[in-house]
A and B are shown apart, each in its own frame.
Chain A
Amino acid sequence: MEKKEITEILKNALNSGADFAELFWEQKETVGINCEENRIERINSGLDEGIGIRVIAGEKTSYAYTNDLSIDRLLEVAEIAGKGAQKNQDLRGLKDFATPPSPLKIEIKKPPQEVKIEDKVQVVLAANETARRVDQRIRQVTVNYGDVRQKVTIANSDGVYVEDLRTRTRLSVHAVASEGNLVQTGFHSVGGSKGFELLEEEDPTQIAETAAKKAILMLTAQPAPSGKMPVVLAGKAGGTMVHEACGHGLEADLVQKGLSLYADKRGQEVASPLITVVDDGLISGKFGTTSYDDEGTPYSKKVLINKGVLKNYMYDLITAKRDKVKSTGNGRRESYKDRPIPRMRNTYIASGKTDPEKIIKETKEGLLVTSMGGGQVNTLNGDYVFDVAEAYVLKEGKVLYPVRGATLTGNGPETLRLVDLVGKDIGFTIGVCGKEGQGVPVSDAQPTMAVRELIVGGTGEESTPQGKKIRRL
């Protein structure tokens, strides 16, 4: 499709009277490989192409998508979308197209579609074999490989025209170990805005070993203690907590709807002065990194909370206009089927000054969390429950023994006020965030942190079947 045709479609969308019209054209190729039961069970290749048309008139948004890409159908769909949002005011014209520059050029060294499927299968099989070799008690190993090549063209009536190519690769390993009646699992994954080179930089067998060792370790773990206690969140546990229990509350749509504890708190102290929270779309190669967001706004780095003081929210075009600010480049969507909403990219708590070892040494009694599992969070009040995939009991500054089945119950903003020490390290984990049913790739991170107290619940059993799964209320 040419710019001329795109212009015609946008004109049709504006025809019934509107403030804004936008076209999002996506062509996506995916490959997924699944290894289970010690063999390649599934390989799935897919082609998905479609166009989403968004029309905004005042506070009204109308969205239509189709994967019938004939120009006649598209003109028709644009007209339907336009009628859905129509307002009886003078028409806004279409500005001439221009492409805003992005500070980030992503270079994919080994585009996955140029890598033979045999080579991808090799990596998966190697990970499977390595995990199984770790210990005789490893009973089941699941390895999943996926790559995506997503080409998007974004054009809107304000004159933005952006073409962007996104490539992502990921690998995850899930191991099940058992001894007697006891069954324990371990999970580890890597992913990035990279091509197949990701799996040259990150050794797949290492990932497999980490997952398998976690499962084996948990076999010897004791039931987790329960009650209120100090908790040290290790850097390598990643930033699930900051993403879920704090990050979502800083998304402008939730803030504007009054659905966030952080609403109307700009300039106020909302966390310990040791806490700086950043959302950065530009970190090279991370899972949440691209050059532009899904509205054609160049990605950027935004400090959300600076030394405990709330500085900024995350905006897409609509919410930015409402607050009379510029979009922060957080308008993201899962596919052409979805309207963009404010979303996180790579979100982290910035490193502090304390040696992580020292943080552990200074803890008299409590829980050291080294791997997080799934959980659930209420974004309205920040309450959360997280499963802990790997943790240790701490006493007099010493790491005593591993425990399983722990859950952390708390409140996001409150937890960030209770942080006493922040380490100089940082650890990233990847995930697919699922706000409003739309999954987008993100990464999150945090340094090692000492939290004065959290409620630890224990069932005596590990309960994280498939790595990180988060549900939101």
Chain B
Amino acid sequence: MESVAPKVLALAQKKGAETAEVFLLKSRELTIEVMGQEVENLKLSEEQGFGLRVISHNRLGYAYSSDLSERAIQQTVERAIDNSRLVAEDSNWNVAEPGNSYPELDLYDQETIRKPLAEKIILAKELEKAAFASDSRIRQVEKAVYQDSSYQTALFNTRGLARNYQGTYCGLYGIAIGQEGTDAETGFSMSYALKYQDLNPFKVGQEAGEKAVRMLGAKSMPSAKIPVVFDPHVMTGVLDVLQRAFSGEAVLKGTSFLAGKEGQKVASPLVNIVDHGFLAEQVASAPFDSEGMPTAETRLINRGELQGFLHNLYTARKTGAHSTGNAVRGSYKSTPEVGTTNFYLEKGSVSPAQLLGDVKKGLYVTEVMGLHTANPISGDFSLGAAGLLIENGKLTTPVKGIAIAGNLQELLLGIEAIADDLTFYVGLGSPTVRIQGLMISGK
């Protein structure tokens, strides 16, 4: 596949591109879904393609193709150049220079590739069994899934950069449904890892089951302003919305509520937020980003104080910063935008039990709806939520049908305790977090 890259670059230059860059991706994926201890769905996929960026007269053009034939390469090069002619001029476009040093990572697991299909099927079956075994009220396991992927990425540009790496990852996820009378509730659990041996179907199945059952009988609660505890999964959802505000692109476009606040206190002094592109044992780690810049560890909030933003080459040059190795592409079809790698809230020093122990009356939130509709500019959000009441430091009755309204900026400032249970959900990580009084509207 890589042999295509020099050909594409040469053709682009021949047709008038001053600078060109080719991103190549080849991947294979396997997904196994089990239902009733039988394989219900099995999916194998292989995909390859390239994305081409050309820069001429400070104008950037883009085109991609899954087809690596001569004809398709020709057409893709022509389209990228045509497109560049109509795009606004901007002297901030550039590509990576060669000569950087790159972190060394162990991303490739032979075992994931070598394990026979039959064994992977067993993992999904065990997950399903564990979910049923967790409680007699589990009526159904909606999903019991094993997944793995292997990929090769390469980046070539006319400045002389030519690099590649390969990796694998695997994971399990389950959704269980608990039922009591007419009341049905779902519970979800997932775990992704770089190494096959780190997968634990019992834990995932059991957690999905327990989460479903503990919500049975959930009812709304009276409106109140009380401390709220977010479990790690819910908090990573919050971080997912929050990460947009750390994007150098959002700063440029005026859509970040953090813009211009470097050095200011934007969160509680307990809060440290980091984006770490080469964190060991993490699925989202890589030696270089999708422009070929080395990945980095970037401290974004240190003891509540904003340190800076995430950048790709474009936003770095435009704002006078350095690339933080945060150019991210969804696939060969997309241009490299600013995105996160392993983005997480650092763990605190108390256990989750201690964190709950101090709460007289509060809400432990295990599920939120509508987070993605939070306003990234103002930070305002209104979420549907479900969880469990905290009474005298203990989780008691399940609650649903409530709304939590607030603002992300205030939420960051209002964090009053962070537990030591940092958990990653593919690129996003958080411990359990307690936030002082949030407005909960119920019945």
Contacts and interface: CB of A to CB of B under 8 A. Distances in A.
A459 B373 CA distance: 13
Contact of B86 (A63, A117, A378): A117
Contacts of A39: 88
B376 A67 contact: no
A204 B83 CA distance: 21
A63 B44 contact: yes
B370 A385 contact: yes
Nearest to A381: B184
B86 A43 contact: yes
Given A59-B40, A339-B41, A49 B67 contact: yes
Given A41-B88, A61-B40, A63-B44, A374 B67 contact: no
Contact of B377 (A45, A183, A339): A183
B367 to A, nearest CB: 8
A413 to B, nearest CB: 13
Interface stretch (A14-22, A80-88, A96-104, A304-312): A80-88
B333 A64 contact: no
A80 B42 CA distance: 11
Contacts of B384: 376, 383, 385, 409
A49 B68 CA distance: 10
B370 A62 contact: no
B351 to A, nearest CB: 29
Interface stretch (B6-14, B57-65, B103-111, B263-271): B57-65
A240 to B, nearest CB: 12
From A39, A139, A385, A460, residue with most partner B Cβ within 10 Å: A385
Contact of B375 (A121, A380, A457, A462): A462
Nearest to A228: B443
B66 interface: yes
A464 B373 contact: yes
From B62, B66, B177, B374, residue with most partner A Cβ within 10 Å: B66
A267 interface: no
A60 B40 contact: yes
B39 interface: yes
A49 B84 CA distance: 24
B41 A407 contact: no
B115 interface: no
A43 B383 CA distance: 35
B184 A59 contact: no
B186 A473 contact: yes
B373 A465 contact: yes
A67 B66 contact: yes
Contact of A64 (B45, B62, B65): B45
A66 interface: yes
A340 interface: no
A424 interface: no
A46 interface: yes
A40 interface: yes
Nearest to B61: A43
Contacts of B280: none
Interface string B159-195: 0000000000000000001000000101000000000
Contacts of A176: 377
A140 interface: yes
Interface in A15-59: 36-37, 39-50, 59
A49 B72 CA distance: 11
A40 B86 contact: yes
A383 B45 CA distance: 34
Interface in B76-90: 76, 79-80, 82-84, 86-88
A375 interface: yes
Contact of B253 (A36, A65, A67, A80): A36
Contacts of A222: none
B198 interface: no
B39 A60 contact: yes
A200 interface: no
A405 B382 contact: yes
Give the bracket for the number of chain B residues in contact with chain A. 35 or more
B47 interface: yes
A121 B383 CA distance: 38
Given A67-B66, A385-B384, A387-B370, A380 B48 contact: no
Contact of B376 (A337, A339, A376, A465): A465
Contacts of B397: none
B423 interface: no
Contacts of B369: 376, 378, 385, 471, 473
A463 B66 contact: no
Contacts, number: 192
A129 to B, nearest CB: 14
Given A43-B86, A45-B79, A47-B72, A461 B378 contact: yes
Interface in A143-186: 176, 183
A257 B144 CA distance: 14
A36 B253 CA distance: 9
B372 interface: yes
Given A39-B88, A42-B62, A59 B38 contact: yes
Contact of A63 (B43, B84, B373): B43
Contacts of A469: 372-373
A226 interface: yes
Contacts of A36: 253
B436 interface: no
Given A43-B83, A45-B83, A46-B64, A463 B44 contact: no
A407 B333 CA distance: 35
Nearest to A47: B65
A284 B75 CA distance: 33
B112 interface: no
Nearest to B63: A45
B185 to A, nearest CB: 8
Contacts of A117: 82-83, 86
Contacts of B82: 45, 117
Given A44-B64, A374-B373, A118 B86 contact: yes
B115 to A, nearest CB: 16
A258 interface: yes
B151 interface: no
Interface in A367-388: 373-376, 378, 380-381, 383, 385, 387
A40 B87 contact: yes
Contacts of A381: 184
A45 B80 contact: yes
A69 B66 CA distance: 10
Contacts of A387: 370, 373, 382
Contacts of B40: 59-61
B122 to A, nearest CB: 15
B340 to A, nearest CB: 18
B140 interface: yes
Interface string B385-416: 00000000000000001010100000000000
Contacts of B401: 383, 409
Interface in B116-142: 117, 139-140, 142
A68 interface: yes
Contacts of A376: 369-370, 372-373, 384
Given A42-B335, A61-B42, A463-B382, 18 more contacts: A45-B62, A60-B38, A60-B40, A63-B43, A63-B44, A67-B66, A85-B42, A140-B253, A183-B375, A183-B377, A259-B177, A374-B372, A383-B384, A462-B375, A463-B380, A464-B375, A471-B370, A473-B369
10 contacts: A40-B86, A42-B335, A43-B83, A43-B87, A45-B76, A60-B39, A257-B142, A457-B382, A460-B380, A465-B376
For the complex of A and B, the 7 pairs showing the least CB-CB separation, nearest first, are: A39-B88, A43-B83, A376-B369, A461-B380, A45-B79, A385-B384, A47-B65
